[in-house]
Structures are given as C-alpha cells and as structure tokens.
Amino acid sequence: MNENDLSLLVRAIAFAATKHKDQRRKDEAASPYINHPVALVDLLVHEGGVTDLATLVAAVLHDTIEDTQTTSEEIQAVFGAVICTIVNEVTDDKALGRSACKQAQIDKAPNLSREARAVKLADKICNLRDVATNPPAGWETERRQAYFDWAKQVIDGLRGHHPLLEDLFDEVYRLRPE
Ligand code: ZN
C-alpha cells in the first residue's frame, strides 16, 4: 500500500467516524457504531488477506449512506466513482421497508461486483459474530436464528470469489443459536 492509498484509507476512517459519531450499535452495551465498520476492515485485512484498497475503503464507508445523512454524491466527490459504486451496491434502499430490503439483499447478491462481495461477506461475518456472542438487546433465540438463516441465504448467492472469507462465514455460521 503506497502513501496515497494509506491516505485514502485513513480519510475514510475519519469520514466514517464523523458520520457515525452519534450512533450506537444495538447490543446491550450500546457500543459505538464506528466499531462495526472498523471490525470489517480488521477482518478483511487480518483474517481475509484482502489488500485491495477500494474494497477496504468501501468496507469502512459501507453503512454511511444507509445509516447516516451521507449521500452518494458526497462519497463520489471525496472518494471517487469506483468506491462510490461499491458502497451503493451494498446499500439497502430503506424506502422498501424491512422485509423487502432483506429480500432485495438475497436477490442482488448474485450480481454484486467482486469488491462488493468481499464487503458483504465481511459485514455478515461481523454481524453473525455479534449476534452469536453479543446480540442486540431483546433478541430472543428465534430472532437470532432467523438472522443467521437470512445471512446464509444472502451469502449463498455470492459464493465462488473469496474462498477464505466464505470459509470464515461458514465457521461463524456454526454458532447459529440452538
Ligand atoms: Zn454493516
């Protein structure tokens, strides 16, 4: 990674930290939201062996459009069209409502770019780890099981490009609550 790449990655982390500054995760301890995008990059680099800059930057930014006031235009202006496209690929259209959003993720998975597949895998691995070990407050077993099942449906639609990440997904899937 050269100096420009490092600069862009750090800029993305600072950007996401600002955008998510008032948000918390849904776990019991209400962890700072930024822990989640940071966990994705950590996983991609240290467990997935991913070094592709666009993938790493998009992972940091992956929830900014979906969960903050950030626009696609803003991402494009700061980070360029390639990264913006990946972030858009992994952004839910919340206007659809929750269950249609979930179905849309399953439907879109087979058409994602290679980079978006890596981000999606990292997102689902991190979320399953959270649901297994530190679940959102009030999530009973049935809801946690349903989350695991849905995540698997999404991931099953995008397999074949990132064997290491897919293995990590299968490993965490074994933690599906009984
Ligand atoms: Zn996420």
Structure tokens belonging to residue 45 = 């680099």
Q: Is residue 145 part of a domain?
A: yes
Whether 73 is catalytic is no
Query: What is the count of structural domains for the chain?
Result: 1
Task: Write out pLDDT tens, residues 9-61.
Answer: 999 999 999 999 999 999 999 999 999 999 999 999 999 999 999 999 999 99
Distance 92 CA to ligand 1 centre (A): 10
Asked if residue 58 lies in contact with residue 115, where contact means CB atoms within 8 angstroms, the answer is yes
CATH of the domain at 35: 1.10.3210.10
Whether 67 is catalytic is yes
Range of the domain at 137: 3-173
pLDDT higher than threshold 90 for residue 1: no
Cα–Cα distance measured from residue 13 to residue 10, given in angstroms and rounded to the nearest whole number: 5
* Annotated active-site residue in 66, 107, 115, 123: 66
* Annotated active-site residue in 47, 67, 74, 92: 67
Q: Is residue 32 part of a domain?
A: yes
Q: Which residues 6+ apart lie within 8 Å of 37 measured at CB? A: 16, 20, 59, 60, 61, 62, 63
Distance 62 CA to ligand 1 centre (A): 6
Q: Is residue 178 part of a domain?
A: no
Distance 61 CA to ligand 1 centre (A): 9
Question: What pLDDT does residue 102 have?
Answer: 96
